[in-house]
Amino acid sequence: MGTRHQYLRINLAVFSKSTMIHQKHIDYLSKVDNTLKSVIENNTTPKISKSNDYVLDLYKYIIFQQISTKAGNSIYNRFLQYYNKNKNNISSWREQQWKSIGLSNQKKNYIENIFRLKNEIYDLKNVSSVSKIYRQLIQIKGVGNWTIDMFLIFSKNNLDIFPEGDLALINIIKKKYQVNSIDQILEIANKWSPYRTIATLYLWESLDDDFPN
């Protein structure tokens, strides 16, 4: 799921929002990258907030895998209605229920895999090590590198994540920087460290399709 061919990016607007981007971040990124400076100047400041429900977050990232933002929002909203009534017993659903939500059998199974390890996932609240989070989450079938990157960005608010498996992000970099290879893209992204997440958020904001501010 976390391959370079991922066709999905998470919709910022469905998270509650609070500013995490400060002027020092903008100044740094603008100084090291003139192209990104232009992106920053021509887009609104992205806003996200740290999550309080890591398990629900992972359900969401699974739902959004490899589908459009519009479809993901519809399915997630139906899932959320079920989740609010069955938070502590997700896997009790009948076939008709998960199908009516819009889940495939595969995604249903992935959600159940997460549910079985929910206590361990909630325990990540006090874990800041990226490598430790990767090692723990990658063991869950259905959770790949892209999903973990989304978790680190949107759930943990780690400021230095570059989700190279996000196709929308890769394509916008190719377009704005006139590069083609992943090595060139990673070289560009490395300039943004330690604020690669913030650069990523601005590039997502620059997309003018179905990715609302």
Q: What's the CATH fold of domain 54-155?
A: Endonuclease III; domain 1 (1.10.340)
Is residue 57 within 8 Å of residue 64, measured between CB atoms?
A: no
Distance CA 49, CA 179 (A): 32
What residues does each domain of the chain span?
Answer: 12-49+161-205, 54-155
pLDDT (0 to 100) of residue 118 = 95
pLDDT band at 207 (very low <50, low <70, confident <90, very high): confident
Angle between helices 167-177 and 182-192 (to 10 degrees): 90
For residue 152, what pLDDT band results from cuts at 50, 70 and 90? very high
Q: Under a CB-based contact definition with an 8 Å cutoff, are residues 185 and 173 in contact? A: yes
* Contact assessment for residue 42 and residue 53, using Cβ atoms and an 8 Å cutoff: no
Helix ranges, 127-209 (H):
130-137, 145-150, 167-177, 182-192, 196-205
* pLDDT at residue 208, rounded to an integer: 60
pLDDT tier at 177, thresholds 50, 70, 90 = very high
Q: 83, 59 in Cβ contact below 8 A?
A: yes
When the pLDDT of each residue in the chain is averaged and rounded to a whole number, the result is 88
Q: For residue 101, which amino acid is it?
A: I
What is the tens place of the pLDDT at every residue in 43-93? 988 877 778 899 999 999 999 988 888 899 999 999 999 999 999 999 899
Estimate the crossing angle of helix 196-205 against helix 167-177, to 10 degrees.
80
More confident call, 17 vs 109: 109
Q: Check if 12-49+161-205 and 54-155 are the same fold.
A: no
Per-residue pLDDT, 195: 97
Please give the average per-residue pLDDT across 1-27, as a whole number. Answer: 57
pLDDT, tens only, 56-66: 999 999 999 88
- Residue 52 near residue 134, CB atoms below 8 Å: no
CA 185 to chain centre: 19
User: Would you identify the CATH topology of the domain 12-49+161-205?
Assistant: Endonuclease Iii, domain 2 (1.10.1670)
Residues 6+ apart with CB under 8 A from 60: 10, 14, 76
How is residue 87 written in tokens?
């938070």
